[in-house]
Amino acid sequence: MAENLLLEKWSGIDSAELMILLRDRVGGPGQYDSALAPEKFFLPLARSKGQIALAYAKGVIVRIEPGAAFDASKWESISKEIESEILGGALKRGRDFSFSSRRVLGGWHGATSGVQILPAPESAPRATVEMADHPFVLEFPLRAGNYWPVIHHRRVLEHRKLTLVLNVLLRGHISYQLQRAEHLWARVGSGAIEWVQRFFWADLGETVTDHATPLPDERIPEIDPVKYYEHPGGAGNQFSVPTNLDESIALYQALDKKRREKFERAAYWLDMASRQWWLSTSSSFACLVSAIEALVEPDSSHATICEQCKETLHHHVPGQPNDSGLFLRLSLPMDP
């Protein structure tokens, strides 16, 4: 078997980040060789032009092997960059816009989690009505080196995950802007009907910083968790948080990889339930079912012989609820 260039000390490396660096440094677009090695993905191309071959298992890169055009000195340089830019880096701050169904007028800081909620800059567009997606700045810890493509990928991904976590933990709907450009007919301004793009942009400033942004003088109200969750819809339009929000986010951050991924899938489907509500009520409830199922361990099965048809079948035993370490409040009514 060919040498595995994916070192043991790199175990747990993010395959998406690794592929970003490899495509940039080795080249692309990449190619399969269905005749000689259908299970491997070659960069930049297959056969004589292949510098490395990637082997996947369940969507994760598990082996990197030298190709016909392998350059040992070039790989040594790439290896150093993998360790410094993907596995290394300093702790910085990522920033991006999230949206709330309630206006965010003050600031909040989580001392343990390192997460901050800040009002949108004065220059940012603002809705003139209360029933809208109101922008705010979500700031969070981010390990980053100097290689911008990986930094950007990591920042976008972490921002989406934390936004979904806040959507679980806070009243109202907390969301992020979808990257796919959706176009639709809309009434604009005084009433003119135009074909427009669903889009938001404002001057955020630096998206990655070395230090936390100073909080404004006005702070977001913090409410005892029991009272906070008594009325999920909340009273009025004031944006508030439970006093244990920092602890809840820190519990999420401390989850092991498997449980964290389960919780993130459940949080994704909870967000989709709110997004689907306007299109199909039944689809919205189907998303809630998917959110619950995401927290359940996979079914186990064993072979059994059916006495009626005399064939061997598989009997499935329902999985048990997964103890994620963080309470997913799926019982809360949605608040578009």
pLDDT at 88 over 70: yes
Note the pTM of the prediction, 2 decimals. Answer: 0.84
Alpha carbon distance 229, 335 (integer Å): 13
**Which stretches does DSSP call E strand in 120-181?**
134-144, 174-175
Q: Locate 295 and state its tokens.
A: 């927290």
Q: Are 52 and 67 in contact (CB under 8 A)?
A: yes
Q: What is the CA radius of gyration of the chain?
A: 24
Name the nearest CA neighbour of 51 among 72, 68, 38, 73: 68
Which residues fall within 8 angstroms of residue 73, CB to CB, at 6 or more apart?
none
Contact 335, 232 (CB under 8 A): yes
What are the tens digits of pLDDT across the range 229-277? Answer: 887 655 557 899 999 999 999 999 999 988 999 999 999 999 999 888 8
**pLDDT higher than threshold 80 for residue 333:** no
Phi (first) and psi of residue 86, to 5 degrees: -105, -50
Number of CB atoms found within 10 A of residue 207's CB: 15
- Alpha-carbon distance of 292 to 324, in angstroms, equals 12
The set of residues, in sequence order, having a beta carbon less than 8 Å from that of 201 and lying 6+ positions away, is none
Strand partners, 162: none
Q: Is the pLDDT of residue 1 over 60?
A: no
**pLDDT (0 to 100) of residue 307:** 75
Residue 81: pLDDT band with limits 50, 70, 90: very high
Share of the chain above pLDDT 90, in %: 65
Q: Residue 181: is its pLDDT beyond 70?
A: yes
Distance CA 25, CA 80 (A): 12
Asked if residue 10 has pLDDT above 50, the reply is yes
Measured between alpha carbons, how far is residue 242 from residues 105, 187, 232, 239, 286 in Å? 16, 37, 12, 11, 28
pLDDT in tens, 273-291: 988 888 888 999 999 999 8
